[in-house]
A and B are shown apart, each in its own frame.
Chain A
Amino acid sequence: MVMDTTKTQEQWLKEMEEKSRAKQKNFIGNITSRLKRPMVAEAPKHPYRGSPDFWNAFEWNEQERIDKFTENFISVGGHVERFRTMDEVRGFIADKAKELSAKYVIRQNQRELEALNLEQDLPEARVSVWNSDEDENWKARSAEADIGVVLVDHAAAYTSSMVVLSSKDKGRSVSLLPTVLMAIIPVERIRTRLGEVLGRFDEAGRESLPAGIHFISGPSRSSDIENDLTIGVHGPGVVYAIIVG
């Protein structure tokens, strides 16, 4: 295949889009004709949308949510800490970092995480703040980091899932590349069911969704070698869910 180097990427993409739109008619049309009825103009009625009613009525109280989240998270090899204040969280992270001889730490660029004052508590380590400088290579910073610190956006106890949303100040890499992940969960953000979190995305609508919505339910793992479980394959192998409040 000979590439036409006279075209810019933008031009090429535009051409591809035109081709694609033309193809779309046939592609969709093929489906319609095989289904032997005209395509509906409006959204078809979807009586079985989402989970069964009995499930949507299911809910744990706050303590149950905390207990179940903890139980589930630990059962998959994660660690859980419970603190009342961010001050205690600050102390925990600093102690852990020293214990692990962490040289590089990276955190999301958020007020709450700034208040942890890691730079002050860990003078020996280099503490980076995601996307705080235009010229920095943030993916590389995350890759070299021993510890990544994030503030979780949502959580679900039934599956011990923590949810992080990407943004200018919150890199996907921060919860993915470092060896250890410290994920801080404000207790009021822990719900019972996944659906309670997922439903919010339906309500929010397409335009308000970030590029990356990541449900993290434990440390990275694989059983691909002789069914033998190993923790920490590509993502962080050591994950601390720090419940605060």
Chain B
Amino acid sequence: MSHATAPKGGATVKERAELALNNEFLRKAVKFTTERLKNGKLKAMEEHGNWEEWRERGRQIRLHTIAHLDYYLNQFVENARANGVHVHFADDAKDAVAISLAIAERKSAKSVVKSKSMVSEELHLNHALESIGVEAIETDLGEYIIQLAGEAPSHIIIPAIHKNRYQIAELLSEDAGEKLEADTKVLAGYVRRRLRAKFLEADIGMTGCNFAIAETGSMVLFENEGNARMVTTLPKTQITLMGMERIIPSWSDLEVMATLLPRSATGQKLTMYMSGITGPRRTEDADGPDEMHIIIVDNGRSLQLGDPEFQELLNCIRCGACLNACPVYRHIGGHAYGGTYSGPIGAVLTPSLQKNVAEWDDIANASSLCGACYEACPVKIPLHDMLVYLRRRKVEAGHGNKAEGAGMKGFAALMSRSGRFNTVVKLGQIGQKFVARDGGIRLKVGPLKGWNTYRVLPALPKKSFREQWGTLEAEIRAGLNTMSPDIKQRMEQAVQNRAKGGGHGHGHH
């Protein structure tokens, strides 16, 4: 489950982030893309209206399904089998890869054409297929490009945003064996022609799965290019990789997902193609696969079940809205996260899917906990809370940073008694005399280095608030205005409402 090699560019998030921050093009590209997608979403939300109601609906459908996942997954499997699908179960990446390779070998497959599947990235499946001599070809335009570059996707929806058109033209020109102009139409036209042949020749078509409908055993794919349709129509064998949590009960529930997903991902009303596939081709059909397999993958997902802090993580519909809302992602891009999934969802998923806390890196720390991800999430996953839970679990398991741990113990000692707090503030007021100039501290040493590289720390005022309180209080009491009856009444009302259980305008849970 853990990565065999360290992610490119450094072992820690901090190191990889630094690379990203120093890459001017990457930052501009990520910023432009995320803003475009974010604004698209906001526009689509407004146009459609009642977004909060839709979000809540989406959340309830997902919560319900996950809470009864055993029932619905079982129902899905039985129905899929009844449709003629060969269903397989994979506890982990190793299992899933083994099954995929076995199917490919039985078919003496030479090539596999793949449509977008984050699960297949999780499994590093392309690599495994190549190792047994099977050519695995990504067919989504962005994925095809990064496959040529030998890189991982940097965004869930737009995988090659870190590449400019000149870089892309270079890659595709090499692939073509001729010079292609750095023009979108030309480049896309080349890929269309090139992949046509591949679609028609390929032995196996491989897909991911956006949603699986339990009541009819159908799988649903959302896309704009048409490659997922190609991959499920032309090759004789189809393999679909499905995360075990991708279930919804019915086609009616699909309307809610179809309302939330495209708008959240890119601001579209609906993707150009939405395909519901129910089994392999019927005997009398002249296209569609003869043989269809669905591999249901666990790979750490079931670890979230029964965990009240993380079960909601399985609600995720992989829309990428959190990436587009995240100010940290916008600055560092997807590769800095170091895993298959990036952005806020990645920061939570990557550690959560791994049982071994000791292997969690510092990814959960790459967040200011601003809550924009939660606000953006169409199914209301409290990612910002989950990041804190992850940090806590790491500390509880004894894998916290030792220096930080010591500092926190000091914090606790200091803050548990107001007298101690007062003393330390006094010491600070005295001690800073050595380093404060014009009311500011610019020293870039020790703990101040990170802060003062970008800011001037204000000097402590001569007296803290509590030191001045005595004087202030006396002054206030002396000149206190009489409270108007109106205000008195309002305050009393507020207390009464509280007793009745009325809250007062909280945006959160």
Within 8 A of A (CB), among B277-296: 277-282, 284-288, 291, 296
Contact A233 B225 (CB under 8 A): yes
Given A193-B255, A206-B82, A217 and B36 touching (CB < 8 A)?
no
Contact B272 A219 (CB under 8 A): yes
Distance (whole angstroms) from the CB of A30 to the closest CB of chain B: 6
Contact B229 A194 (CB under 8 A): no
Contact B192 A233 (CB under 8 A): yes
Contact A213 B64 (CB under 8 A): no
Q: Does A115 contact B (CB under 8 A)?
A: no
Contact B272 A218 (CB under 8 A): yes
Closest-by-CB residue of B relative to A232 is B192
Q: Mark A214-235, 1 if CB is under 8 A from B, else 0.
A: 1111111111111111101111
Closest-by-CB residue of A relative to B98 is A1
Contact B79 A220 (CB under 8 A): no
Q: Mark A122-163, 1 if CB is under 8 A from B, else 0.
A: 000000001100000011101100000000000000111100
Which of chain B's residues have a CB closer than 8 A to the CB of A46? 64, 249
> Which of B181-189, B403-411, B478-486 lies at the interface with chain A?
B181-189
Q: Mark B99-128, 1 if CB is under 8 A from A, else 0.
A: 001100110000000000000000000000
Given A40-B71, A222-B141, A20 and B87 touching (CB < 8 A)?
yes
Give Cα distance in the complex from A138 to B284, angstroms.
13
Contact B105 A1 (CB under 8 A): yes
Q: Does B428 contact A (CB under 8 A)?
A: no
Contact A209 B187 (CB under 8 A): no
- Contact of B29 (CB < 8 Å), options: A130, A172, A215, A226: A226
- Contact of A138 (CB < 8 Å), options: B29, B254, B286: B286
Given A48-B64, A213-B278, A34 and B258 touching (CB < 8 A)?
no
Contact B275 A213 (CB under 8 A): yes
> Which of A59-67, A87-95, A96-104, A195-203 lies at the interface with chain B?
A195-203
- Contact of A235 (CB < 8 Å), options: B54, B215, B226: B226
Contact B91 A211 (CB under 8 A): no
Contact B252 A195 (CB under 8 A): yes
Which of chain B's residues have a CB closer than 8 A to the CB of A83? none
Q: Does B200 contact A (CB under 8 A)?
A: yes
Distance (whole angstroms) from the CB of B226 to the closest CB of chain A: 3
Contact B165 A225 (CB under 8 A): yes
Q: Does B88 contact A (CB under 8 A)?
A: yes
Distance (whole angstroms) from the CB of A70 to the closest CB of chain B: 14
Q: Does B151 contact A (CB under 8 A)?
A: no
Which of chain A's residues have a CB closer than 8 A to the CB of B71? 39-40, 43-44
Within 8 A of B (CB), among A164-214: 166-168, 171-173, 176, 193-195, 198-199, 201-202, 205-206, 209-214
Which of chain B's residues have a CB closer than 8 A to the CB of A176? 226, 229-230, 233
Distance (whole angstroms) from the CB of A134 to the closest CB of chain B: 9
Given A1-B102, A226-B184, A228-B184, A49 and B286 touching (CB < 8 A)?
no
Distance (whole angstroms) from the CB of A44 to the closest CB of chain B: 5
Q: Does A9 contact B (CB under 8 A)?
A: yes
Interface centre among A32, A193, A201 (most CB of B within 10 A): A201
Distance (whole angstroms) from the CB of A68 to the closest CB of chain B: 11
- Contact of A31 (CB < 8 Å), options: B105, B250, B259, B302: B302
Which of chain A's residues have a CB closer than 8 A to the CB of B105? 1, 3
Contact B68 A24 (CB under 8 A): no
Q: Does B195 contact A (CB under 8 A)?
A: yes
Contact B74 A28 (CB under 8 A): yes
Contact A225 B187 (CB under 8 A): yes
Closest-by-CB residue of A relative to B225 is A233
Within 8 A of A (CB), among B408-455: none
13 A-B pairs (CB sep. < 8 Å): A24-B74, A31-B70, A32-B70, A46-B249, A171-B287, A194-B258, A211-B285, A212-B276, A212-B277, A226-B165, A227-B33, A233-B191, A235-B272
The 3 closest A-B pairs by CB, nearest first: A235-B226, A50-B252, A224-B142
Given A32-B70, A195-B252, A226-B165, 20 other A-B residues pairs in contact with their CB atoms under 8 A: A24-B87, A27-B298, A28-B74, A34-B306, A35-B69, A40-B68, A131-B285, A139-B200, A168-B286, A171-B285, A194-B255, A201-B216, A209-B216, A211-B277, A216-B273, A220-B224, A220-B225, A234-B227, A235-B272, A235-B273
